Chains A and B, each alone.
Chain A
Amino acid sequence: MISKKEVEHIAKLARIGLTSGEIEKFQKELSSILDYFEKLEEVDVSEAEPISHPITRATASSTELENVTRKDEVRLNGASVDEAEKLLDLVPDKKNGYVKVRAILK
């Protein structure tokens, strides 16, 4: 069973606010989900490599998978030139074309 303190700690790491009622609710729900994960303990993975790209292995022989790199330069890709303006239009709090954030130093 995951503790209340652990739930609070992880929620803070993830920058998620929880009310006190929710901490208890999440504690119960997360515990039952983590209990369910214990099923994986049965599996012998001593021979298995971890994968993150599902197709790399299965079809390595039949697809032309290769590392993709590009030059670090501006490209517009057909996007309208005023895209920066469009993005700034969405910012709730800004000044002189800069995004305003709260102070991080006291």
Chain B
Amino acid sequence: MNLTDLTITQVHQGLAKKEFSVLELCRVYLERIKNRDKEISAFLTVNEDLALSQAKKIDDLIYVGKKIPVLAGVPCAIKDNILVEEIRCTAASKILENYIASYDATVIKRLKEQGAVFLGKTNMDEFAMGSSTENSAFGPTKNPRDLSRVPGGSSGGSAAAVAGNLCCYALGSDTGGSIRLPASFCGAVGLKPTYGAVSRYGLIAFASSLDQIGPITKTAEDAKIVFDVISGKDKMDSTSVNPKSDPSTSSGSSRAKSRDEIRNPKQIQNLRIGVPREYFVKGIDPEVEKVIKGAIKKYEEMGAKIEEVSLPHTEYALSCYYIIAPSEASANLARYDAIRYGGIPEGPRPFCEKGGAYGAGKNKKLKIKDLFDYYLIAREEGFGAEVRRRIIIGAYTLSAGYYEAYYLKAQKVRTLISDDFEKVFRKVDVLMTPVSPFLPFKIGEKIEDPLSMYLVDVYTVSVNLAGLPALSLPVGKVGELPVGLQIIGKPFEEQKILNIGKHFKEM
């Protein structure tokens, strides 16, 4: 038995039956990270000591015969934009290179209460801005299925760690596809929850009206286990809501029912699946289309009713997203001034316009003129090209004279996109689409052309704009490269899409 192949459920059973200890399991993972992560580069920080001490605690509980929660002792990895107290948290940015988190994100607190074991923090596109994990200030992550290709982004390190068996499960964050795309590219399961289902407290903000934390796992069943633990209202995030309301209240009853109704595979027979025609147009790789159509056919064979539907504003989603997300980012990233943490490293600056006459505090030979200068230099050196590009786009689309043409217009188009979904969800229960029009591309292929990289997100951004839950499920391969099916649900119907995903392998 290879311990690193096990799912959460299998690890839990193994621990309960004392087939192996948490410490043993943890050491196997740490050893594998040491060997295999040299090639993949999924981790930015590996916290061996913390992991081993957490492992020992759970082993002690098992030893004295305590019944342990399902996530207890299960080694996981956390995207490096989610704070874990006393662990470095960089968001893959130089500006946060030495930042040590002073508190736990709510999701981390909830995982700790379950006895989770944290192996380390995973690589990502800087501040989650990107679709390939090439925008990390610490170098790209490679796709474990083919090391010459990208793992997708921005949660590329988390997806590669799960797919490469470097952890049992991971957390990612999804602003425009950042969980679903890497899950699809690496052949893992990824869940982007409904906006508000999971607390964002302790998540380094990118675009606050779009960001959600979610699990990346080996199976849909595992994704459900993690989601159930991390979801729910949190007083530290006023946008979080509690869908687990009392089923006896009028508003709660329909949701509670819909959560349960897909448990039985026979229920797939009554399922109405919508296939939006706008997601199968020019630009999609025909091989990807074939795999996706084949997967939808399988659900049809199980008795689901397939219906072609239309989301007419789909073609505007990408523009809409790439105005709204950078606008929010330009405001959120204004806080990084290298004054409260970070600082500007000393030394001459060969690329500096003014002849390298700048440097920080202690070096008396190098002087920064004033605070304004300090900001410019700190943010030029601290942020990578894509982050600076997006901050500038955001500042532009929010600036006087352009606000109405860009930002306000995009907010209105967002309403129309959201309305499209609301209308089709009166006719169908879920939607099925590809996660990406492309297979995982080569490292370096798109990084020089920002717009071509943005187009990778064409099938994922609408879901964030409308705040819906969506699952990325591996349903086939083209050669060795995995293809993910996107299952989009109604708000707060995570359980339904997870159960539908679970039945795929049971077919």
- The A29-45 residues at the B interface (CB cut-off 8 A) are 29-30, 32-34, 36-37, 39-40, 42-43, 45
Contact among A16, A62, A68, A77 with B254 in the assembled complex (CB-CB below 8 Å): A62
Chain B residues whose C-beta falls within 8 Å of the C-beta of A12 in the assembled complex: 376
Contact A55 B102 (CB under 8 A): no
* Interface 9-mer from B71-79, B115-123, B403-411: B403-411
Chain A residues whose C-beta falls within 8 Å of the C-beta of B465 in the assembled complex: 54
Q: How far is the CA of A61 from the CA of B491 in the complex (A)?
A: 12
Chain B residues whose C-beta falls within 8 Å of the C-beta of A53 in the assembled complex: 195, 209, 239, 467
* Chain A nearest Cβ from B98, distance in angstroms: 8
Contact among A14, A37, A52, A101 with B391 in the assembled complex (CB-CB below 8 Å): A14
| B492 adjacent to chain A (CB < 8 Å) | yes
Contact B371 A17 (CB under 8 A): no
Contact B467 A54 (CB under 8 A): yes
| A1 adjacent to chain B (CB < 8 Å) | no
B315, B341, B392 interface centre (most CB from chain A within 10 Å)? B392
| A103 adjacent to chain B (CB < 8 Å) | yes
| B183 adjacent to chain A (CB < 8 Å) | no
Contact A90 B100 (CB under 8 A): yes
Contact B413 A40 (CB under 8 A): yes
Chain A residues whose C-beta falls within 8 Å of the C-beta of B156 in the assembled complex: none
Contact A101 B380 (CB under 8 A): no
| B243 adjacent to chain A (CB < 8 Å) | yes
Mark A43-87 against chain B: 1 for CB-CB distance below 8 A, else 0: 101001111111101110111110010100000011100010011
* Interface 9-mer from B39-47, B55-63, B416-424, B499-507: B416-424
Contact B393 A18 (CB under 8 A): no
* Chain A nearest Cβ from B255, distance in angstroms: 6
Contact A58 B466 (CB under 8 A): yes
Chain B residues whose C-beta falls within 8 Å of the C-beta of A48 in the assembled complex: 412-413, 415-416
Contact A68 B238 (CB under 8 A): yes
* Chain B nearest Cβ from A71, distance in angstroms: 12
A45-B370 in contact given A33-B451, A92-B342 (Cβ < 8 Å): no
Contact B406 A54 (CB under 8 A): no
A14-B395 in contact given A43-B313, A92-B343 (Cβ < 8 Å): yes
Mark B335-368 against chain A: 1 for CB-CB distance below 8 A, else 0: 0011111110000000111000000110000001
Nearest residue, chain B, Cβ from A29: B450
Interface of A is mostly: loop
| A5 adjacent to chain B (CB < 8 Å) | no
Q: How far is the CA of A37 from the CA of B383 in the complex (A)?
A: 24
Chain A residues whose C-beta falls within 8 Å of the C-beta of B192 in the assembled complex: none
Chain A residues whose C-beta falls within 8 Å of the C-beta of B408 in the assembled complex: 50
Total interface residues on A, CB under 8 Å, equals: 62
* Interface 9-mer from B22-30, B295-303, B316-324: B316-324
Chain B residues whose C-beta falls within 8 Å of the C-beta of A89 in the assembled complex: 100
* Chain B nearest Cβ from A21, distance in angstroms: 9
* Chain B nearest Cβ from A100, distance in angstroms: 8
Nearest residue, chain A, Cβ from B375: A15
Contact among B103, B313, B319, B334 with A37 in the assembled complex (CB-CB below 8 Å): B319
Total interface residues on B, CB under 8 Å, equals: 90
Contact A83 B102 (CB under 8 A): yes
Chain B residues whose C-beta falls within 8 Å of the C-beta of A42 in the assembled complex: 316
Chain A residues whose C-beta falls within 8 Å of the C-beta of B322 in the assembled complex: 33, 36-37
Contact A64 B380 (CB under 8 A): no
Contact B102 A87 (CB under 8 A): yes
Contact A77 B413 (CB under 8 A): no
A15, A32, A92 interface centre (most CB from chain B within 10 Å)? A15
Chain A residues whose C-beta falls within 8 Å of the C-beta of B241 in the assembled complex: 55, 63-65
Contact A86 B100 (CB under 8 A): yes
Chain B residues whose C-beta falls within 8 Å of the C-beta of A96 in the assembled complex: none
Q: How far is the CA of A76 from the CA of B313 in the complex (A)?
A: 45
Nearest residue, chain B, Cβ from A63: B241
- Extra A-B contacts (7), CB below 8 Å, given A83-B102, A83-B103: A6-B396, A51-B415, A58-B418, A61-B251, A63-B241, A64-B242, A102-B371
Contacts from A to B (Cβ < 8 Å): 2, 6-7, 10-20, 22, 26, 29-30, 32-34, 36-37, 39-40, 42-43, 45, 48-55, 57-59, 61-65, 68, 70, 77-79, 83, 86-87, 89-93, 99, 101-104
Contacts from B to A (Cβ < 8 Å): 98-100, 102-103, 109, 194-196, 209-210, 235-236, 238-239, 241-243, 245, 251, 254-255, 313, 315-316, 318-320, 322-323, 330, 334, 337-343, 351-353, 360-361, 368, 370-372, 374-377, 379-381, 383, 385, 388-389, 391-397, 399, 406, 408-416, 418, 421-422, 450-451, 454, 464-468, 491-492
